[in-house]
Amino acid sequence: MDKRKNILDLKHNKYVQYYNTTIVLTFTYIIGLIIAITTQKITFNMTGIIIFISIIFLGTCTHILLNLKDNLQNTIKEIEDL
C-alpha cells in the first residue's frame, strides 16, 4: 500500500509540475505579446497572423490545462481511496 501511494504521489507531483509549466508558458506568451505590441515590433498589419497563432497556442494550452486538472483530480481520488 505504501509503495502504491508513493507512486501515486509521484504521479500527482508530475501533473502539478506540468500544470505549473503550462501556466508559466501561457503568461510568458501573453506578456511577450504585450511587450511586442507596445514596442511596435508587431504592427497592426500582422493582426490576422497573430490572432491565428494566439488561438492555436492558447487553445492548446487550455486543452492541456483541462486534461491535467482532470488527471490531478483523479490521482487525488485514488490517493484518498487508499
Q: What is the pLDDT of residue 59?
A: 97
Q: Supply 19's cell numbers.
A: 500544470
Range of the domain at 33: 2-81
pLDDT tens figures, 31-61: 999 999 899 888 878 889 999 999 999 999 9
- If we measure between CA atoms, which residue out of 20, 4, 3, 1 comes closest to residue 72? 20
Q: What is the DSSP string of 25-74?
A: HHHHHHHHHHHHHHTTSS-GGGHHHHHHHHHHHHHHHHHHHHHHHHHHHH
Alpha carbon of 50 to those of 11, 19, 25, 30, 66: distances in Å? 36, 25, 17, 11, 24
Mean pLDDT of 65-74: 93
Mean pLDDT of 69-79: 90
Q: Strand, coil or helix: what is 24? A: helix
pLDDT higher than 80, residue 1:
no
pLDDT tens figures, 2-35: 888 888 888 999 999 999 999 999 999 999 999 9
Structural domain total, the chain:
1
Q: What is the pLDDT of residue 63?
A: 97
